[in-house]
Amino acid sequence: MTHQLWNRVKSEFAVWQVGLLPGLLIFLAVIIARLTGSLQFLELVMLDNFLRLRPPEPVDERIVIVGITERDIEKAKTYPIPDGNIANLLKKIRSYKPALIGLDIIRNVSVKPGTEELNAIFRDKNNQDVFAVEKALKDRDGYTIAPPPKIAKEMVGFVDAILDDDGYLRRSILDISYGSVEPRLSLSLLLAAHYLQIHDQNIILEPGKKDPLAARFGSLELTRFRRNFGGYINADDGENQILLNYRSGNQPFRFISAGEVESGKVKPEFFKNRIVLVGITALSAKDVVNSSAIGGINPALVYGVEAQAHAISQIISAVLDGRPLLNVWSDGWEYIWIFGWGIVGISLGRFLRSPWKIMFVLLTSSGLLLLFCYGLIMLGWWVPVVPSLIILWLNGGGLTATLFYRYYQDIKVRESRLKEKEAVKQRIFTRIHNEPLQTLQLLLRERDSIPESLLLKLEYLNQEIRDICDDDKAHVLDEENVLVLGNDMRINLRQPLRELLQNVYIHTLEKDFPYFQGIQVKIINFDPIDDSKLNVEDKRGLCRFLEEALLNVGKYANGATRLHVVCKQENGKQIIRVTDNGIGINQDSSSQSLGTKLTNKLAKKLQGEFRRYSHSPKGTICEFIW
């Protein structure tokens, strides 16, 4: 048992070797492509698609966007919007008692008229709700943009953004550290922290426990972006960043135009205890960023103030609602995941032979992979999709599958050739055994009347003929669907088995064998036999069995006067039986003739039984049951 198991293991390993090495090379190539950043663009696009295809989320009523639209700019008849207009807008919003106001409009330089009114709001010592913005990171020319000069430092948040190589915004900067100097907070983190503390004084912004550089609110630690985070390779991980888990849906936040606020056409409850973000929502102002993770009227274009709303909502929703942030697995688990899908691809080539089946299973597996990864995104986990798909298809439908297919085709051809050669040899041996060897055997039984020199030649000829069966170059004597009986009879094996057996009986009894002459009574019973499960070679074997059984009567049934041949169905079994009342064959012989060996082989194949035994009071019964 152990030896058989070991042989099976070795055989299976030999098969796997065909595709395992190419599969591992493909895995290595995919990993190299990923590590060099060649797959980053595709992985980021897949992330965007998954985020965009999520079901719509409810409107986050905690955040309201007040947008200065093209119509508002036309009404002001100038741009940038004067300080006085902005001051009036802030006063109107304040009258509705919002929790916080974030002014996402650069005001490092005064825009008259109305500058004093706006500065009065900024420098008011009781100002605890209006926040302004700055640009804290240097641009390509080395410049930053200062906040409004009259506002307190703690009421300023930066609105800088780090874009990916394709120009899309997928990350949010939380804070910027300058060595020992107190870090500067982004507008999104600043507003989120103040809102959460208003909601619950115990929820305060603290350093992370697992990662001291990360931001934490209570037990929730905001996962800090790293340079090889998910599908990113060697990305800019300066400052404290997190991935943006954009809120899904065409209207994630309530939007109100500045004109509607100034005209008083809004309900006060829209603003009360909310975070109100004021910003430019006119395309002509070009305060937009690119993002294909959310839909909208202008796909891929998101107003800057709207991006701030998503960043704020992400933090507040994670802390208060348990909405997931975007996380990734460790590098080790990601590559185990990719390797696992490579093994799935190799397995398809190993166990499936049909190209159509492989294609169907590949498509099904790809669909399941995408659905599973989409489900993980819904739970906040971003796992490698693109490299997994690539390695699945390259191994399951590419080089590895092709190598397995060629391997199985070669085996199939070799097995077909071996079976054909074996069938040819068996047919040759059977015919020789049932015809010329039988004649030689009769001559050799009369050795007393044969000269010794001739006897030696006959014995040599007997052995020589037997050796022919071992010659792999023997010619085919029987055609595939034809049974040849003697030199003058060819029977189509597609006929019913009953007719075939009748023809074999008639032809064999016509042979000039000594003990056929004394048979006076012949009882023949050929009933219909169920041959629906027999192939051509099975029928050939059964015909040869009946032929040899009858020939044995002619050769060995000395004194036989009675022959009974039965071919019938009985108790669900098929029976071929030949009975005589002659002296018969010596049953004590330990050796088996070729005919006996071939018949036993056929019985094993058909899960049947072959028997030869004495008949009382005299004679022999030879039967085949299956």
Could you tell me the residue ranges of all domains in the chain? 2-36+332-397, 53-328, 418-477, 482-626
Tell me the pLDDT of the chain averaged across its residues.
86
Tokens of residue 464, six digits: 């020589």
Average pLDDT over residues 473-492: 65
This prediction has a pTM of: 0.67
**Structure confidence at residue 347 (pLDDT):** 79
Average pLDDT over residues 210-238: 93
Task: Please check the confidence at residue 107 and state whether its pLDDT lies above 90.
Answer: yes
Q: Which of 434, 413, 390, 465 is nearest to 598 (CA)?
A: 434
Average pLDDT over residues 405-419: 67
Task: Please check the confidence at residue 253 and state whether its pLDDT lies above 90.
Answer: yes
Task: Please check the confidence at residue 4 and state whether its pLDDT lies above 70.
Answer: no
CA distances from 316 to 104, 162, 183, 222, 328 (A): 19, 22, 21, 11, 21
**Structure confidence at residue 590 (pLDDT):** 45
Average pLDDT over residues 501-528: 89
**Structure confidence at residue 11 (pLDDT):** 56
Which one has a higher pLDDT value, 122 or 477?
A: 122
Beta bridge partners of 289: 302
**Structure confidence at residue 345 (pLDDT):** 83
Pick the CATH number of 482-626 from 3.30.565.10, 3.10.129.10, 3.40.630.30, 3.40.50.1820: 3.30.565.10
Least confident window among 173-182, 208-217, 409-418, 472-481: 472-481
pLDDT classification of 512: cutoffs 50, 70, 90: confident
Which one has a higher pLDDT value, 417 or 612?
A: 612
Task: Please check the confidence at residue 3 and state whether its pLDDT lies above 70.
Answer: no
Task: Please check the confidence at residue 160 and state whether its pLDDT lies above 90.
Answer: yes
Among residues of the chain, what percentage have pLDDT more than 90? 58
**Structure confidence at residue 126 (pLDDT):** 81
**Structure confidence at residue 9 (pLDDT):** 57
Average pLDDT over residues 510-538: 88
pLDDT classification of 597: cutoffs 50, 70, 90: confident
pLDDT tens for each residue of 308-333:
999 999 999 999 999 999 999 999 99
The answer to whether 151 and 123 are in contact (CB under 8 A) is: yes
CA distances from 31 to 25, 231, 333, 395, 598 (A): 10, 12, 13, 14, 57
**Structure confidence at residue 477 (pLDDT):** 45
603 CB-near residues (< 8 Å, 6+ apart) = 609, 610, 624, 626
Residue 563's CB: how many other CB atoms inside 10 A?
Answer: 25
Task: Please check the confidence at residue 5 and state whether its pLDDT lies above 70.
Answer: no
